[in-house]
Chains A and B, each alone.
Chain A
Amino acid sequence: MIDRIPIDAVGIQERVARICTRSIKKESKLQALDLALRMMDLTTLEGSDSEGKVRQLCNKALHPYTELPNIPSVAAVCVYPNRVALAKSILKNSSISIASVATAFPSGMSSLQIKLDDVKFAVSEGADEIDMVISRGAFLSGEYAKVYDEIALIKEVCGTAHLKVILETGELGSLENVRMASDLAMKAGADFIKTSTGKISPSATMPVVLVMLQAIRDFHETTGRKIGMKPAGGIRSSKQAIQYLVMVKETLGNDWLDPSLFRFGASSLANDVLMQWVKEKTGRYQSLNYFSND
């Protein structure tokens, strides 16, 4: 069903190293910071997420940094299904989407029925985007058809909600598996493919994302469909975010430099981007005390 495509890990690392030597300064840096903010899925996925915590996050999404009113808002907030309604009530008049993890996140170790119900619940609460996890156990034991079918069924119950498929690349063991899982998820109907839950180390890494971007490029080549990409977890600094953007540009082209096709799943990245933004605008670094921790 899905071909196994050879990947040379050493070659991938060399390409990544070369991408990281790109020097993004001045106007192009400001553009990149602007993009990074607009592409951000502000995320909180803790068992301890109270209503207050989610409210804080939504406020941050609405007002990232009040001293600079022209700052763009983030793309979405990402929460657990039982916090979707609350987030919706706060963000309903904004441009910010609500993403919800589902399908027995983060392990995916439950029955298909429960996963489907999980998705239906999140959608009925008002989620615009569903971040599902694949069954890594099934994938690693070679039950590719089972993984495929699950994604396809979940895609159906998403309705108009956007489906992001989390591969949890930290558990897949090789770049060839990452490539294969990417191809499989796209064929099964994913709108986005996403690296990680953030609960497993390593989460997003540049080599893994490069392999996924290549899969997206090849899929677009053969089907004409543009699939989105979302690295999640581990991206904490603006510098890293810019390196990812360079990688997207040089692998997929400018078309993908758009929140509808590329997202960062991150919690602490926002403040660093804001800080760099202020620095580019004012020429000075502002103290971290001036940025809200949410």
Chain B
Amino acid sequence: MSEKNLSDQSTRSNQASISIDWSYADAPESTSHVTFSKHYGLFIDGSFTEYNENQSFESINPTNGESLYRCTEANKSDVDAAVTAARKAFKGTWGTTSGTQRSHYLYRIARMLQERAREFAVLESMDGGKPIRESRDIDIPLAAAYFFYYAGWADKLAYAFPGKSPKPLGVCAQIIPWNFPLLMLAWKIAPALACGNTVVLKPAETTSLTALKFCELLHDVGLPDGVVNIVTGAAKTGEYLVQHPDIDKIAFTGSTGVGKVIQQSIAERQLPATFELGGKGAFILFDDAALNEAVEGIVNAIFFNQGHVCCAGSRLLVQEGVAEKVIDLLKKRMQHLIVGDPLDKNTDIGAVNSKEQLETIQRYVKTGIQEGATCFECSGSLPTSGYYFPPTILTGVSQSSTVVQEEIFGPVLTIQTFRTTDEAIEKANNTPYGLANGIWTDKGSKIFYVGSKLKSGVVWSNTYNKFDPTSPFGGFKESGKGREGGISGLHAYVKLDHNGGMY
């Protein structure tokens, strides 16, 4: 009946029924307002050191494989100078700065980040390859939010620890990863400064740019010299930093492998340390969930930031009765994901951060297929140059598959089914990791039951990859120890009088 009416309609109205193939024109974000240097020194004691070509490395633009800028690889004496500057500041000006004054500095940093948000977002996308939609809407606003949040605590520490008097630890050695460069910097620096510590921070070698631009901002803020020092470099620089005898605390975010090495190297030193390491999060989807929204949740859980997210929901566990429907909906949704230029406002998935990471992802997918997985890739076209990987799902995998056990750190989702709630919990927990999981159900009681059984630092219900400065974040098992964010995040940067060191 309706078919007939529709055809009547199209003959009656001659302009109807010209179906068009409507695609979105390019919508590039302007880069004309950002400037950065071709080469950078190290930021030590309030100013940049002289750049030395012989002691430098290049940062690659992941969209074309060409050099974007060069920075200095900090050697042992550079790291020594940075720690010395931080120690001097801790003993001197910063040590006598009141909580109220510290909060003023942090508020100023937060506001200036907001004012320069667009600039930082563009730089973050240029350097790391993440889509501008995410750096603009998530990374930079959230980084500012962490500074705002910890600015609020700086003069209220006594209330955070009733009956105790929190004291700063001293010089904090901080090492951050390449997936959320400025945001991880904020997670590290904001609570450290709020508690009265000084900092030597090493950004990841592929994404130093926003940390170096952040130094400009510190200068404008008028932060005393030596309170924050930025040393760029790769693994060797990181090793000098964590093995330095004059540091009082280590905060590391990165891979579980490197985390273990650091833990071994400090085993004899009684150093307070926090680790935020890898993950293999499960996305548990029950048959009574709102499926369309859950599919959107899956997209957000695994394709956010090209899957370079330690808490990514990389294992979908879906109840058998709805598995077929969910996979079908997901495949349809994936057809509308746009992989391309990170600076285009319509890009959903940008460039993989580095050639090495791209090869790792390719290797894992190949292994998955060799072990019997069926691979479905998003059909849209990929740019011809640069490091890109399409959103991918692997079905026909099981708990014993390599791709289910190991962290891929790319836009690759494995899909397994389950029959009962307990089976889902069992599968979700059956991993050395324990960073984050998600539960999708329309039933509140099930959320509490399953949530209490999952062994992970974060459990999201009916959402995924949500971050907030007030909420603690961290891992169980091999996903790390200690918490960042919220009041728990302050614990990691103070010693309390009654026991002289909590961690």
Contact = CB atoms under 8 A, between A and B. Distances in A.
B22 A32 contact: yes
Given A97-B9, A225-B3, A254 B290 contact: no
A35 B294 CA distance: 31
A119 to B, nearest CB: 14
A293 interface: no
A170 B150 CA distance: 42
A259 B4 CA distance: 16
B23 A28 contact: yes
Interface string B295-307: 0110010000000
Interface stretch (A18-26, A49-57, A100-108): A18-26
Contact of B8 (A26, A160, A189, A258): A160
Given A12-B293, A225-B2, A250-B336, A75 B16 contact: yes
B1 A155 contact: yes
Contacts of A7: 290, 292-293
B235 interface: no
A257 interface: yes
Interface in A249-275: 249-250, 254-255, 257-261
Contacts of A75: 13, 15-16
B266 interface: no
Contact of A257 (B13, B15, B19, B289): B19
Contacts of A26: 25-26
Interface string B10-27: 101111111111111111
Most buried by A among B10, B16, B288, B297: B16
A14 B296 contact: yes
A288 interface: no
Contact of A23 (B294, B346, B442): B346
A81 B1 CA distance: 23
Contacts of A58: none
Given A23-B345, A189-B2, A259 B463 contact: no
A34 B258 CA distance: 56
Given A97-B12, A189-B2, A259-B13, A11 B463 contact: yes
B5 interface: yes
Contacts of A29: 25
A72 interface: yes
Interface string A95-136: 111000000000000000000000000000000100000000
Contacts of A14: 293, 296, 300
A258 B20 CA distance: 8
Given A75-B13, A97-B12, A189-B1, A214 B292 contact: yes
A43 B293 CA distance: 34
Contacts of B137: 21
B34 interface: no
Contacts of B3: 225
B25 A191 contact: no
B6 interface: yes
A23 B296 CA distance: 20
Nearest to A159: B5
B462 interface: yes
B22 A11 contact: no
A250 B336 CA distance: 6
Given A160-B5, A257-B20, A95 B293 contact: no
Given A14-B296, A29-B25, A226 B15 contact: no
B5 A15 contact: no
Interface in B268-291: 288-291
B293 A21 contact: no
A96 B14 CA distance: 9
Contacts of B8: 160, 162
Interface residues of B, number: 43
B346 A245 contact: no
Contacts of A95: 12-16
Interface string A130-166: 0000000000000000000000000100001111000
Nearest to B15: A95
Interface in B54-83: none
B22 to A, nearest CB: 6
A15 B19 CA distance: 25
A249 B20 CA distance: 11
Contacts of A189: 1-2
A260 B27 contact: no
A8 B293 contact: yes
Nearest to A211: B292
Contacts of A250: 336
Contacts of B6: 162, 191, 226, 260-261
A208 B21 CA distance: 25
Given A23-B346, A31-B22, A254-B21, A191 B13 contact: no
Given A21-B345, A28-B22, A162-B5, A10 B15 contact: no
B13 A8 contact: no
B118 interface: no
B336 A31 contact: no
B130 interface: no
A195 to B, nearest CB: 18
Contacts of B296: 11, 14-15
B133 interface: yes
Nearest to A162: B5
Contacts of A128: 9, 12
A38 B291 CA distance: 33
Chain A CB within 10 Å — which of B10, B23, B25 has the most? B25
Contacts of B462: 8, 10-11
Contacts of B1: 155, 189
A203 to B, nearest CB: 23
Contact of B10 (A6, A12, A249, A260): A260
A189 B2 CA distance: 7
A137 to B, nearest CB: 27
A22 B346 contact: yes
A73 interface: yes
Interface in B459-490: 462-463
Those 3 A-B pairs whose CB atoms lie nearest each other, nearest first: A11-B293, A23-B27, A8-B290
11 contacts: A7-B292, A8-B442, A10-B463, A12-B292, A25-B27, A28-B25, A31-B22, A95-B13, A128-B12, A258-B20, A260-B13
Interface of A: 5-8, 10-12, 14-15, 21-29, 31-32, 35, 38, 72-73, 75-76, 95-97, 128, 155, 160-163, 189-191, 214, 225-227, 245, 249-250, 254-255, 257-261
